[in-house]
Amino acid sequence: MKLFHVEEQKVQPLDPFQELGIAVIKQAAEDYRAIARKLESIENSYEEQVLEKDMESIRHFFLSEWFEVLSDSSNGPMILEMLDREVYGVR
């Protein structure tokens, strides 16, 4: 009879910079969703312009070098596309 010994794998904690980067990206995605919801029911054209400007700022973030530094990847356009599908139903 053979006995198998399973070694416990220790997950290395993320360094604080990685945790901060993940938090910033998650917050940007949540802000994008929240602004999209607000835009659906907005009636004030000035407020709509402000919210559209905020959305554009978040889009720029996902397409920026800063996003790549925080995420250590260049998948910002893919995340933005997924968010657009989610909030606008764009395919």
Residue 62 lies in a domain: yes
The structural domain count of the chain equals: 1
- List pLDDT tens digits, range 30-87: 999 999 999 989 889 999 999 999 999 999 999 999 999 999 889 999 999 999 999 9
Give the CA count within 13 Å in the CB-facing half-sphere of 66.
10
Q: Is the pLDDT of residue 91 over 60?
A: no
* Integer CA distances (angstroms), 81 to 16, 24, 42, 70, 78, in order: 28, 18, 23, 19, 5
What is the reported pTM?
0.80
Structural domain range at position 48: 16-88
pLDDT at 57: 97
So what's the pLDDT on residue 11?
A: 72
Angle, vertex CA 85, rays to CA 77 and CA 54, nearest 5: 65
**Residue 10 counted as domain residue:** no
How far apart are alpha carbons 14 and 29 in whole angstroms? 21
